[in-house]
């Protein structure tokens, strides 16, 4: 239908080459078809013929936006605003372009201006809330998502985004699950909603519900590596390392450079006692993973697999110094102390894990302390 209309408009342009509206209409159809270069060419011609019409700058800005040329998009949105300063949508779209350039304060100012011009439009609050969350100001993000929900309670995405904000704000997983559930009630075929609710259940240590949700997410989206990785995390936390490995391997098949999947899979192999396989996975993770702190931590695990306990202890100690509340660092250093025969130091590290009170690591630490007692240490 669009192609036939484009042909008709092209014939009209041949007959009336100075009609700006016809170029604009054809540009709209090119945009609809995703042919942004042709759309930009038509909007430019329309602007040349009628340079005072704001909407052609706006539409050309949208075409540049879809091409991810945000600077050019901002230029056009700005020109549209100069010609029509009371149009809330022009500010909104310029805000989105600034958002994609990670210029969050400018984005917020634009969304705020859009809200001041059209205060009953839910989408503007949603967009501003998203930027607040990018700035890690989750309280303001929640306020904006709540206002968006108040104005449009049938939009599932607003609940989903507020749920994510609750998840990040002081790990409020109960409120997050409530919102994810409401999003699912409104749109029950969205894999992302089930995936993130499953992840929230996992963080609440409700592994069976997590797995159930992630099963549904995978059923709806078979090619998303994250869902397999998260389901692997749930099985890993249940200490079902075979199923965890199965999921991590599928995540790696779908996304061969997924460092988190390699790292978690290597941990599962380590706890199965397959240390050589774990070592290979840790080495691959070091190759893939960004960031000195995590690379250092994984290097410590390689030394542990090699039974180079002194180096492992040195590395894990450095990791603890950088983050003294990370249970895993104490647990792995305890393993290195145990391997070296320094059982009192191992016990101290395992007891620190218990004091920090993370369920998964605490269960592993209790197992190690029990083994120390059985062995008479």
List, in order of start, the domains of the chain with CATH numbers: 1-85 (1.25.40.10)
What would the mean pLDDT of 322-349 be, rounded to a whole number? 95
Query: Higher confidence at residue 373 or residue 167?
Result: 167
Question: Residue 4: is its pLDDT beyond 90?
Answer: no
* Average pLDDT of the residues in 188-212: 97
Q: Is pLDDT at 169 greater than 90 in this prediction?
A: no
What percent of the chain clears pLDDT 90, i.e. is strictly above it? 84
pLDDT band for position 171 (cuts 50, 70, 90): confident
User: How much is the mean pLDDT over the chain?
Assistant: 94
pLDDT of 10 above 80: no
Return the minimum-mean-pLDDT range out of 3-17, 28-42, 248-262.
Answer: 3-17
* Side-chain-facing half-sphere of 153: CA atoms under 13 Å: 1
pLDDT band, very low/low/confident/very high, at 50 (cuts 50, 70, 90): very high
Write down how long the chain is: 377
The mean per-residue pLDDT over the stretch 283-305 comes to 86
d(CA 56, CA 375): 79
pLDDT at 313 over 90: yes
Average pLDDT for 120-139: 97
Identify the pLDDT of residue 292: 63
Alpha carbon 122 to its chain's center: 23
Q: Is the pLDDT score of 138 beyond 90?
A: yes
By CB atoms closer than 10 A (0-12, 13-18, 19+), residue 78 is middle
155 in Cβ contact with 148 (< 8 Å): yes
Mean pLDDT of 325-337: 95
Burial of 334: CB neighbours in 10 Å, binned 0-12, 13-18, 19+: buried
**pLDDT-based confidence at 15, cuts 50/70/90?**
confident
The per-residue pLDDT for 127 is 98
């Amino acid at each position: 239908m669009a192609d036939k209309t484009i042909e008709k408009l092209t014939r009209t342009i041949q007959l009336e080459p100075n009609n700006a509206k016809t170029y604009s209409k054809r540009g709209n159809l090119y945009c609809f078809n995703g042919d942004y270069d042709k759309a930009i060419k038509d909007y430019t011609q329309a602007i040349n013929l009628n340079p005072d019409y704001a909407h052609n700058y706006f539409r050309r800005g949208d075409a540049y936006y879809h091409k991810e040329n945000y600077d050019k998009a901002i230029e056009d949105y700005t020109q549209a605003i100069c010609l029509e300063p009371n149009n809330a949508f022009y500010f909104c779209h310029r805000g989105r372009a600034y958002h994609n350039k990670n210029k969050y304060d400018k984005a917020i100012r634009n969304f705020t201006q859009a809200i001041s011009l059209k205060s009953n439009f839910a989408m503007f609050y949603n967009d501003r809330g998203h930027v607040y969350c990018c700035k890690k100001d989750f309280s303001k993000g929640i306020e904006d998502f709540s206002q968006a929900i108040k104005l449009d309670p049938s939009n599932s995405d607003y609940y989903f985004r507020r749920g994510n904000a609750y998840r990040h704000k002081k790990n409020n997983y109960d409120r997050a699950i409530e919102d994810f559930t409401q999003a699912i009630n409104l749109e029950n075929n969205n894999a992302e909603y089930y995936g993130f609710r499953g992840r929230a259940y996992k963080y609440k240590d409700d592994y069976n519900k997590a797995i159930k949700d992630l099963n549904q997410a995978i059923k709806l989206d078979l090619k998303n590596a994250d869902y397999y990785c998260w389901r692997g995390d749930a099985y890993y936390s249940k200490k079902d390392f075979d199923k965890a490995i199965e999921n991590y391997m599928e995540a790696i098949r779908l996304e061969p450079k997924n460092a988190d999947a390699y790292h978690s899979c290597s941990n599962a192999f380590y706890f199965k006692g397959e240390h050589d396989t774990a070592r290979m996975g840790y080495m691959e993770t070091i190759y893939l993973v960004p960031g000195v702190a995590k690379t250092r931590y994984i290097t410590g695990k390689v030394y542990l697999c090699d039974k180079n306990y002194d180096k492992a202890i040195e590395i894990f100690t450095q990791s603890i110094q950088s983050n003294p509340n990370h249970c895993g660092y104490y647990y792995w250093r305890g393993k290195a102390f145990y391997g070296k025969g320094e059982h009192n130091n191992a016990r101290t590290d395992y007891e620190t894990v218990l004091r920090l009170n993370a369920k998964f690591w605490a269960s592993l630490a209790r197992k190690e302390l029990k083994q120390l007692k059985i062995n008479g240490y």
